[in-house]
Structure formats: structure tokens, C-alpha cells
């Protein structure tokens, strides 16, 4: 077996790929050959390391040197200095912005971003090459399946998952073991297991990273699930907008089949399990499990009333267990390392960890995995690096279009399923968007409603009509045409939509509005009573005014795209408020900063 | 794969190839690869070392280049660090000497006193 003394791990998650990491991979290979190092150093493609804001990322082992924002021009230098001569290129290492340390972090283990994280679901992401089943196997891959098939009965498997307290990571938070048990106890011959890889929340990419970086974890978990409930066939429903994940999953399934880890008589037992990929077609609602089932069946993706629940009557009318990607990702480890190990992470009611896609106004945008019970403050400031550009934290939105926002008063809330719900938000699938003082909360709520109105399938009236009416009201408010009655109408509409919508999309669509109304009522009132947008975002409510500090330099008059600034040299310039389109070009240009938004 | 035993064997074999990405304790070999080293033939020493490690299937080992250790006249040089043992520095190396070091020190645990730095200063 060839011995490579060094590995260069190049992140090939979608984020880094779109920043050119695959070109870097090629260039590293070329440079290594040119220096005669190709027999000593291996270039390895891996999944997402998580610190997406600093990509493309390359890690050199055995040192663990964490190179960030790597460009083509850096490749030869890294090869000549580090790989050939052993001199780590300090200027290209990750610099921890929040710490103002002078020495660049040497190794990935010392980076602040990773210190507070517990990478459990993401254990292999960024460590193995997802396109090589051997690397998954090297880190105990498929051992759990082997253990289950040779030492455990289906009942014992379910018991283990139940005792672990694992709850669905797709947002529902239902006890996974219990769902498996419901399906197991049905008497049907034909049962199915499914994986929900639709991940429609805007800004969420947790599941994508697991599938791109460690697809075998999901395959193995689905096989374990099938064994436990008595299924022989599984489907992974994955959105078509994830081409890299689809490709990697396809390669993984083929390799598993080749090795006899999928198909008939797995590992020499009489257990048979086959897995198929089904692509979504761009509908957020197909992340709802009954709509997902309808889609696989070839029907239009629309939800069905529950009960009956899919565990009793699902795909093609048969008992079906559908779990989220991240829920599956930890199953093999729970089987191998045990319930007690899993419960060392997290809280008693929410054991384990959760992956969050941290985005918005934050320094370290990327993927973060933390033990449940970690506080919002730790995630946003210690791991996330806080708010950039000297702005102040205003709110954090969790749960995407189904969730709510929390304010600085809630920063010390420990994150778990129940705490966030009790405050009017929810953990959801893991999207976490931070907003600062320059964001308008009314506009923010409208953004989410934009999305849900678009994605509503139209089947039930409360969602189809109700969310549209709410959106219209929010639109008018941001344009200065709202009234106080509108705020009451928003509340009552929200209540009826939540109460009577057929599925989770409608039932949770009002959440962003309700939570912003609860915690930022003053902003709504400013919009409807004073006709002002305190954050300076809603254009119709803005006036841009030149104050008396104007030096009459005419610079602004020249950049105005609609020529609405009148002014002679050395005299006070005036903006015509009727013509002004509030683009802000004059503000950027003014040398004395005398133009203000109000 | 027809059995769990086969899976375990594959795992052990595959793990050798990527141990360096883990926290596992490894024997660390550091080879001087500055200009003085390269000019004296450290690249051939590196290549021979790697070949020997492959042929003898030595496990849990990491090989890293390093800068000038200062005694340029004694290049090529390498150091072996093993937990629980004092580090050993070998100097004035060539391919033949490296083969002997791998066989006697790495495999059989015997320091090759003929080549240690103490013999040359």
C-alpha cells in the first residue's frame, strides 16, 4: 500500500467549489508533479469544513495547518515552502479576526471557531474523501450495520434509538425511536424508509454538507432503520438544486453496492436492502413528509391530512419512516458508541448536538455544530465572531420561514428544542440568521412571507389566501400605507392561519410576523404611525436630506442618477424629495458626510 | 464483502492510510529539507525512507520535512521522535544508511549508534 507522508485536504463542498476549489485541486496535483512530490504527497477532496466564510479551505496534514482563502497564486508557494521544505506559510493561515492575536493559528485544533464545537454529525466532513468508501470504512464505517446485523434484534435496535433520546433534526423534534417503533409494529409485509434531503429553508445547508461530505453515514443509517422496522427498500428524496450532493450520493450508493453493503445478503446475512435516489423539482412544500411521499409516488407535491401518519400509512399506502439527513447521520455512532456516549452531549430533553447554518450579519459565516444547551451568545459571538463592520446585534432568526426571532435579551438562552419554542421561536432545521441595527424587522418579516407565499402549494384556503393577505398588509406597511388596525389584522389572520392550515408550511408561516410583532412592536408602530423606518431600510419611508454642513462642492449632484439635487458651487445643495429614489449614491460620495437618512 | 470480519480487515488496512488525520499517537520522523539538506541529498533520503516504510508496512508513522537544523555540514539529517523515548538524531545520511535505520531502529527498536549525531561532533 503506498505511503503518503502528507495529505492536502481540499474542501469540495458547494461553497468552496463555487470559489474555485476544484481548480486548486488540479493545480496542487500539477505543482506536486513538477516538484517530484507526487509519490509523497496526496491531494484529497473532502466535504465541508464549516468555516465557509474563509473558503476555499485547504488543510495540510500531519501538521493540521489550516490555510484559508487559498488562491491559484498561492498553490506553488504552499507546495515549495510547506510540502517541500516543511515551512508553514504563516500569512496564508487562518487569522482569527475576533481575537486580534498576532500569531496566525497553526492548527485547526486551535482555531476559536472550532474550539466550542462538537462535531458529531459532521465528524467525517472535512476529514475523509466522500468519494472513497474505504476512507469511510477506515473510521469505523459500516461497523454499526455489521453490529446490528450480527448482534442485535430489530427490537433491540429500536430500544437503543429510543433510549438515546434522539429527536428529529428536520425541525419536528419527534422522538426518532418512537417513530421507528410505530412502523415496526405494523403488520404489513412491505415497508419503506425514506430520507428527507429536500432542505428548502433559505440559507440552510446543513443537510447538503452532510450529503456532500459524508454520504455513507446516511446510507448506513437507512440500512439500520430498514432492518429495525422490516423494510427492504429506501428512497432518498433530494432537491435537484444540490447537484454535487446528488452526484456524491450516487457514487456512494454504487460503491456500497459493489462492496456488498447494499443489495442482497448484506455482509453475508439474509438482510436485503436497496436504495434509490429521487430528485425534487424545486418545491419547498415537498420538504413536508406527506407532500414528499406524494412526489415520490408521481403525484403533485401536496400534503395530506395526518393522521394517518406515514409510519402507519405512507409511501404507496405502506408503513414508511422518513427521517431527516442529520438525524440519520448520528445513528451509526449511537449504535457503535452507545446511548450513554450520545447523552454526554446536549441536555436531558434534547440530547446530542445540532448543526446550524450561521448566516447574515456575522463574521464567521458557515456551518457550526454544537451540543444542545450551548447558548445563543456562545454561538453568535464566540464561534461566530460577532457582528462585522462595528454594527450592533439586533436579533437572531432561527428556524427559517417557520421560525421566529429572538433579541439581545435572549442571548443567554441555552439552545434546545423546547427552550426556543417557549420563547416564540423554534430550532427548526438549523438555519440561524443574524441581523444588526441596519436591518428593518418589518422588512425582514416580509422577506420570509415573500417566500412562503411563493411556495404555498395552494391546496388549503387558510394558507393560500391567508398568507397572501398578510403579505399585502406587510407590503403596505413598508410603503408607509399601514394603519394600527393592520397590526391587529396581522395578529388575527396569523391565529386563524396557524390553526387551520393543512400542513406545517401554513401552520408556521405566520411565525416570523408574530415574533417580530412581539419583540419589535415599536418598529411596526414607527412604520404605521410615524411613517418612518428606524433602520433606514424601507425606501418609501426614507427621506435623504443634506444638512447645513454642506460645503457646496457639487460632488453629489454629479452622481445622482435622477438629477434631483439642485445646488450651485459654495451654496447649500437641496434634494428634491419628490424625485429622489433613495439610492444613497450621494451619501457615499459626500466628502463631509453631511447627507443623512431620516 | 461477505462478512463482518472482512469489513474489519478492510477498516484496519484503510485506517493506516489516513491515520495522520487523526489524533492518534504516532512515531514522528523529521527530515531536514532546507537548501543545505536538499543540496546534500535529502530528497533521496526522503524517497528511500518512504519506500522502506511501504515495503515493511510500518504503521502509525508520520514523516515531515523541516528547516535547517543548524549543522549544515552534517546534512542530510533526520530525527526520530517516539513517545516514551528520547529523540534520536541521525546525521550524514544516504539511502543505505536510511535502510539500516528503518530496519534496526523503527522495526526492531535498536538505535543505530554508528550514525547518531554524537559520533560526528
Size of chain B, expressed as the number of residues it contains: 121
| B46/A contact by beta carbon, under 8 A | yes
Asked whether the predicted pLDDT for residue A112 surpasses 90, the reply is: no
SS3 A591: coil
Asked whether the predicted pLDDT for residue A274 surpasses 60, the reply is: yes
Sign of the torsion angle spanned by Cα atoms A296, A297, A301, A304: negative
Rounded to a whole number of angstroms, the distance from the CA of B32 to the nearest CA of chain A is: 8
Q: Is residue A21 a contact partner of residue A68, using CB atoms and an 8 Å limit?
A: no
Contacts of A62 in chain B (CB under 8 A): 20, 26, 28, 62, 64
Asked if B67's CB is within 8 angstroms of A1's CB, the reply is no
Which ipTM did the prediction report? 0.89
Give the cell for residue A201.
Answer: 429553508
Interface test with B, best of A119, A131, A138 (most B CBs within 10 A): A138
β-partners of residue A322 are: A194
Question: 3-state SS string over A75-94?
Answer: HHHHHHHHHHCCCCCHHHEC
Which residues of A have a CB under 8 Å from any CB of B? 1-7, 9, 36, 39-40, 61-63, 83-87, 127-128, 134-135, 137-143, 146-147, 149-150, 259-261, 267-268
Q: What is the CA radius of gyration of chain B?
A: 16
| B5/A contact by beta carbon, under 8 A | no
Rounded to a whole number of angstroms, the distance from the CA of A243 to the nearest CA of chain B is: 28
C-alpha to C-alpha distance for A477 and A472, rounded to whole angstroms: 9
Asked if A87's CB is within 8 angstroms of B62's CB, the reply is no
Asked whether the predicted pLDDT for residue A100 surpasses 60, the reply is: no
CB burial string A418-451: b at 16+ within 10 A, e below? ebbeebbbbbbbbbbbbbbeebbbbbbbbbbbbb
Q: Is residue A575 a contact partner of residue A546, using CB atoms and an 8 Å limit?
A: yes
Vertex A49: Cα angle to A48 and A53 (nearest 5) = 95
Asked if B11's CB is within 8 angstroms of A143's CB, the reply is yes
Asked if A40's CB is within 8 angstroms of B46's CB, the reply is yes
Contacts of A143 in chain B (CB under 8 A): 7-8, 11
Q: What are phi and psi of A250, to 5 degrees?
A: -60, -45
Phi-psi region of B67 (alpha: psi -120 to 50; beta: other; left: phi over 0): beta
Local confidence band at A63 (pLDDT 50, 70, 90 cut-offs)? confident
Tens-place pLDDT, residues A207-260: 999 999 999 999 999 999 999 999 999 999 999 999 999 999 999 999 999 999
Q: Compute the mean pLDDT over every residue in chain A, rounded to the nearest whole number.
A: 93
Tens-place pLDDT, residues A246-260: 999 999 999 999 999
Tens-place pLDDT, residues A181-205: 999 999 999 999 999 999 999 989 9
Asked if A9's CB is within 8 angstroms of B7's CB, the reply is no
C-alpha to C-alpha distance for A338 and B83, rounded to whole angstroms: 31
Size of interface A-B (CB pairs under 8 A): 94
Asked whether the predicted pLDDT for residue A105 surpasses 80, the reply is: no
Contacts of B2 in chain A (CB under 8 A): 260, 267-268
Rounded to a whole number of angstroms, the distance from the CA of B65 to the nearest CA of chain A is: 4
Percent of chain A at pLDDT above 70?
A: 98
Contacts of A134 in chain B (CB under 8 A): 10, 14, 17
Asked if A142's CB is within 8 angstroms of B54's CB, the reply is no
Q: Is residue A408 a contact partner of residue A393, using CB atoms and an 8 Å limit?
A: yes
Asked whether the predicted pLDDT for residue A149 surpasses 90, the reply is: yes
Tens-place pLDDT, residues A513-545: 999 999 999 999 999 999 999 998 998 888 899
Question: 3-state SS string over A240-293?
Answer: CCCHHHHHHHHHHHHHHHHCCCCECCHHHCCCCEEEEEEECCCCHHHHCHHHHH
Vertex A328: Cα angle to A323 and A333 (nearest 5) = 150
Q: What are phi and psi of B89, to 5 degrees?
A: -110, 125
**C-alpha pair distances (Å), A449 with each of A79, A95, A365:** 50, 38, 24
Give the cell for residue B13.
Answer: 488496512
Asked whether the predicted pLDDT for residue A123 surpasses 90, the reply is: yes
How confident is the model at residue A584, as a pLDDT?
Answer: 86
Residue with cell 470559489: A19
Contacts of B54 in chain A (CB under 8 A): 1-3
Tens-place pLDDT, residues A286-342: 999 999 999 999 999 999 999 999 999 999 999 999 999 999 999 999 999 999 999
Mean pLDDT of B75-87: 93
For A556, half-sphere exposure in the C-beta direction (CA atoms, 13 angstrom radius) is 32
Vertex A48: Cα angle to A42 and A52 (nearest 5) = 115
Tens-place pLDDT, residues A386-441: 999 999 999 999 999 999 999 999 999 999 999 999 998 899 999 999 999 999 99
Rounded to a whole number of angstroms, the distance from the CA of A558 to the nearest CA of chain B is: 58
Contacts of A35 in chain B (CB under 8 A): none
Mean pLDDT of A343-359: 96
Q: Could you give the dihedral angle defined by the CA atoms of residues A242, A247, A248 and A251, in that order, rounded to the nearest 10 degrees?
A: 160
Question: 3-state SS string over A150-212?
Answer: HHCCHHHHHHHHHHHCCECCCCCCCEHHHHHHHHHCCCCCCCEEEEEECCCCCCCCHHHHHHH
- Name the residue facing A261 among B1, B15, B57 (closest C-beta): B1
How confident is the model at residue A199, as a pLDDT?
Answer: 94
Residue with cell 500569531: A103
Asked whether the predicted pLDDT for residue A104 surpasses 70, the reply is: no
Amino acid at each position: 500500500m503506498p505511503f503518503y507522508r502528507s495529505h492536502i485536504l481540499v474542501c469540495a463542498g458547494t461553497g468552496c467549489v463555487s470559489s474555485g476549489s476544484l481548480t486548486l485541486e488540479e493545480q496542487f496535483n500539477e505543482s506536486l508533479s513538477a516538484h517530484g512530490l507526487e509519490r509523497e504527497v496526496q491531494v484529497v477532496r473532502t466535504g465541508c469544513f464549516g468555516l465557509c466564510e474563509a473558503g476555499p479551505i485547504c488543510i495540510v496534514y500531519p501538521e493540521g495547518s489550516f490555510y484559508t482563502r487559498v488562491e491559484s497564486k498561492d498553490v506553488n508557494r504552499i507546495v515549495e515552502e510547506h510540502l517541500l521544505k516543511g515551512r508553514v506559510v504563516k500569512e496564508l493561515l487562518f487569522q482569527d479576526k475576533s481575537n486580534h492575536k498576532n500569531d496566525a493559528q497553526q492548527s485547526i485544533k486551535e482555531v476559536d471557531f472550532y474550539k466550542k464545537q462538537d462535531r458529531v454529525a459532521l465528524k467525517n466532513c472535512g476529514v475523509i474523501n466522500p468519494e472513497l468508501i474505504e476512507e469511510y470504512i477506515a473510521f469505523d464505517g459500516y461497523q454499526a450495520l455489521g453490529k446490528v446485523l450480527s448482534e442485535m434484534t430489530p427490537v433491540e435496535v429500536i430500544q437503543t434509538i429510543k433510549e438515546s433520546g434522539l429527536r428529529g433534526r428536520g425541525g419536528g423534534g419527534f422522538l426518532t425511536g418512537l417513530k421507528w417503533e410505530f412502523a415496526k409494529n405494523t403488520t404489513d409485509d412491505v415497508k419503506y424508509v425514506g430520507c428527507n434531503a429536500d432542505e428548502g429553508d433559505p440559507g440552510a445547508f446543513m443537510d447538503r454538507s452532510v450529503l456532500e461530505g459524508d454520504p455513507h453515514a446516511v446510507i448506513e443509517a437507512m440500512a439500520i432503520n430498514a432492518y429495525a422496522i422490516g423494510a427492504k427498500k429506501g428512497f432518498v428524496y433530494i432537491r435537484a438544486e444540490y447537484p454535487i450532493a446528488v452526484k456524491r450520493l450516487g457514487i456512494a450508493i454504487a460503491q456500497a453496492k459493489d462492496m456488498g453493503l447494499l443489495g442482497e445478503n448484506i455482509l453475508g446475512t439474509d438482510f436485503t436492502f436497496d436504495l434509490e435516489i429521487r430528485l425534487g423539482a424545486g418545491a419547498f412544500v415537498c420538504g413536508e413528509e406527506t407532500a414528499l411521499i406524494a412526489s415520490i409516488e408521481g403525484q403533485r407535491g401536496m400534503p395530506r391530512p395526518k393522521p394517518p401518519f406515514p409510519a402507519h400509512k405512507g409511501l404507496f399506502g405502506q408503513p414508511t419512516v422518513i427521517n431527516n439527513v442529520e438525524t440519520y447521520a448520528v445513528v451509526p455512532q449511537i449504535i457503535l458508541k452507545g446511548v450513554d456516549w450520545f447523552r454526554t452531549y446536549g441536555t436531558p430533553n434534547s440530547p446530542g448536538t445540532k448543526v446550524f447554518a450561521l448566516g447574515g450579519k456575522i463574521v464567521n459565516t458557515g456551518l457550526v455544530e454544537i451540543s444542545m444547551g450551548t447558548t445563543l451568545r456562545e454561538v453568535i459571538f464566540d464561534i461566530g465572531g460577532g457582528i462585522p463592520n462595528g454594527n450592533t446585534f439586533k436579533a437572531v432568526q432561527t428556524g427559517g420561514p417557520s421560525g421566529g426571532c429572538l433579541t439581545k435579551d435572549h442571548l443567554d438562552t441555552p439552545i434546545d428544542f423546547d427552550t426556543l419554542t417557549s420563547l416564540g421561536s423554534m430550532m427548526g432545521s438549523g438555519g440561524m440568521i443574524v441581523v444588526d441595527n441596519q436591518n428593518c424587522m418589518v422588512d425582514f418579516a416580509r422577506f420570509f412571507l415573500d417566500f412562503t407565499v411563493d411556495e404555498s402549494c395552494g391546496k388549503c384556503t387558510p394558507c393560500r389566501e391567508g398568507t397572501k393577505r398578510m403579505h399585502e398588509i406587510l407590503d403596505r406597511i413598508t410603503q408607509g400605507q399601514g394603519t394600527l388596525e393592520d397590526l391587529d389584522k396581522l395578529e388575527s389572520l396569523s391565529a386563524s392561519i396557524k390553526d387551520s392550515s393543512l400542513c406545517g408550511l401554513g401552520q408556521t408561516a405566520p411565525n416570523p410576523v408574530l415574533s417580530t410583532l412581539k419583540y419589535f412592536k415599536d418598529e411596526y408602530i414607527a412604520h404605521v404611525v410615524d411613517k418612518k423606518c428606524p433602520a433606514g431600510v424601507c425606501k418609501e419611508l426614507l427621506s435623504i436630506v443634506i444638512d447645513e454642513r454642506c460645503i457646496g462642492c457639487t460632488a453629489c449632484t454629479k452622481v445622482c442618477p435622477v438629477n434631483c439635487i439642485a445646488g450651485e458651487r459654495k451654496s447649500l445643495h437641496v434634494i428634491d424629495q419628490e424625485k429622489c429614489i433613495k439610492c444613497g449614491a450621494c451619501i457615499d460620495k459626500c466628502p463631509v458626510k453631511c447627507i443623512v437618512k431620516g | 464483502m461477505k462478512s463482518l470480519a472482512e469489513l474489519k480487515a478492510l477498516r484496519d488496512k484503510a485506517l493506516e492510510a489516513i491515520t495522520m488525520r487523526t489524533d492518534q499517537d504516532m512515531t514522528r520522523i523529521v527530515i531536514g529539507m532546507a537548501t543545505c539538506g536538499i543540496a546534500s541529498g535529502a530528497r533521496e533520503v526522503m524517497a528511500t525512507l518512504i519506500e522502506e516504510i511501504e515495503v515493511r508496512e510500518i504503521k502509525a508513522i508520520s514523516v515531515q520535512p523541516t528547516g535547517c537544523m543548524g549543522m549544515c555540514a552534517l546534512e542530510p539529517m533526520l530525527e526520530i521522535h517516539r513517545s516514551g523515548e528520547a529523540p534520536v538524531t541521525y546525521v550524514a545520511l544516504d539511502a543505505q544508511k536510511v535502510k539500516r535505520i528503518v530496519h534496526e531502529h523503527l522495526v526492531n527498536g535498536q538505535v543505530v549508534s554508528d550514525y547518531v549525531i554524537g559520533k560526528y561532533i
